[in-house]
């Protein structure tokens, strides 16, 4: 009785076990069949493995390039599988080259990869909040933000203060016909109409609301929200206050508020 370790396996068993080496099954099947049938023409191989002749030629050519099949110079050529010992020598040499490549990359890239592992994650930028106190300081802040606008400036001013509305509309007028577009939502259409002389009326809408809101959003990146605490027109009033921030979530939510109010508001021309 033949010992289990030395029993003769069929070509199917051989192919299945060679797959443990992660080889190309198509090539291994051709090699194993050539071992079985001996030197053969490509057409014979095609019939033996049940593929068309073109596929058989392609597989035989690749095996020849790998050094696993030898081809005669006759016409038509005959292909012969190298001896199994040579087959495993070729595989061993190939795996040895891959092992050397792995070792080289380990030496070259290992330290850099370790550095990536130890690198502290870069902290995300912290949002900034600043309080501006005093009417003059708030007005100056509004002007600076509007002048910094590159894409858009969005204003809500529903305060009853004519002085605050006049200042804010005047700041928007500084943009002129530049690249930054602007829109404004106000509460008093008649007051806005008298103050908006020379400004494009289609950029101003009127909203009837009891809420007193003063909000400026610039380029989706920063906002200034304030309150007119002193109803007088004194330019040096110290009671007005505003909060500036670049907090992305807060800026985005307030921009959504603007868009909702803009949709609800009436065109300035219809409110006059």
If one compares 232 and 95, the residue with the highest pLDDT of the two is: 95
Q: Which of 84, 113, 138 delimits the end of a domain?
A: 84
CATH number of the domain encompassing residue 38:
1.10.10.10
Are residues 138 and 218 located together in one domain of the fold? yes
| Structural domain containing residue 174 | 129-271
Q: What are phi and psi of 204, to 5 degrees?
A: -120, 130
Query: Total structural domains in the chain?
Result: 2
In the predicted structure, residue 143 carries a pLDDT above the cut 90: yes
Are residues 142 and 65 located together in one domain of the fold? no
Q: What is the mean pLDDT of residues 165-170?
A: 86
Are residues 74 and 149 located together in one domain of the fold? no
- pLDDT given at position 178: 67
Distance CA 91, CA 21 (A): 9
How confident is the model over 16-59, as pLDDT tens digits?
888 888 788 888 889 988 988 899 998 989 998 889 989 988 99
Are residues 78 and 135 located together in one domain of the fold? no
How confident is the model over 50-79, as pLDDT tens digits?
899 899 889 999 899 888 999 888 888 899
Burial class of residue 111, CB neighbours in 10 A (0-12, 13-18, 19+) = exposed
Distance CA 32, CA 45 (A): 11
Residue 230 lies in a domain: yes
Are residues 150 and 255 located together in one domain of the fold? yes
Tracing tokens 């990146």 back to the chain, one arrives at 221
Distance CA 167, CA 151 (A): 21
Q: Which of 84, 104, 139 delimits the end of a domain?
A: 84
- pLDDT given at position 173: 85
Are residues 135 and 265 located together in one domain of the fold? yes
Residue 106 lies in a domain: no
Are residues 135 and 80 located together in one domain of the fold? no
Mean pLDDT, the chain, integer: 85
Least confident range of 44-48, 186-190, 242-246: 186-190
Q: Which of 28, 56, 84 delimits the end of a domain?
A: 84
């Amino acid at each position: 009785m033949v010992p289990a370790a030395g029993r003769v396996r069929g070509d199917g068993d051989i192919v299945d076990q060679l797959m443990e080496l992660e080889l190309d099954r198509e090539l291994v099947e051709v090699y194993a069949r050539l071992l079985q049938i001996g030197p053969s023409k490509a057409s014979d191989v095609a019939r033996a493995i049940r593929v068309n002749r073109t596929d058989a030629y392609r597989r035989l050519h690749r095996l020849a390039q790998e050094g696993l099949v030898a081809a005669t110079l006759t016409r038509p050529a005959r292909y012969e599988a190298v001896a199994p010992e040579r087959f495993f020598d070729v595989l061993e040499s190939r795996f040895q080259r891959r092992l050397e490549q792995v070792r080289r990359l380990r030496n070259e890239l290992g330290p850099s990869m370790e550095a990536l592992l130890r690198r502290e994650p870069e902290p995300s930028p912290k949002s900034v909040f600043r309080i501006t106190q005093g009417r003059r300081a708030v007005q100056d802040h509004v002007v600076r933000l509007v002048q910094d606008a590159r894409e858009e400036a969005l204003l809500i001013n529903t305060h009853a203060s004519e002085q605050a509305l006049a200042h804010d509309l005047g700041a928007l007028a500084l943009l002129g016909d530049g690249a930054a577009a602007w829109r404004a939502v106000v509460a008093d259409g008649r007051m806005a109409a008298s103050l908006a002389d020379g400004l494009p009326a289609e950029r101003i809408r009127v909203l009837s609301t009891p809420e007193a809101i003063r909000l400026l959003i610039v380029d989706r990146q920063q906002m200034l929200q304030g309150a007119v605490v002193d109803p007088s027109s004194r330019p040096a009033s110290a009671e007005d206050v505003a909060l500036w921030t670049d907090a992305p979530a807060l800026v985005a939510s307030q921009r959504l508020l603007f868009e909702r109010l803009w949709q609800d508001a009436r065109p300035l021309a219809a409110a006059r």
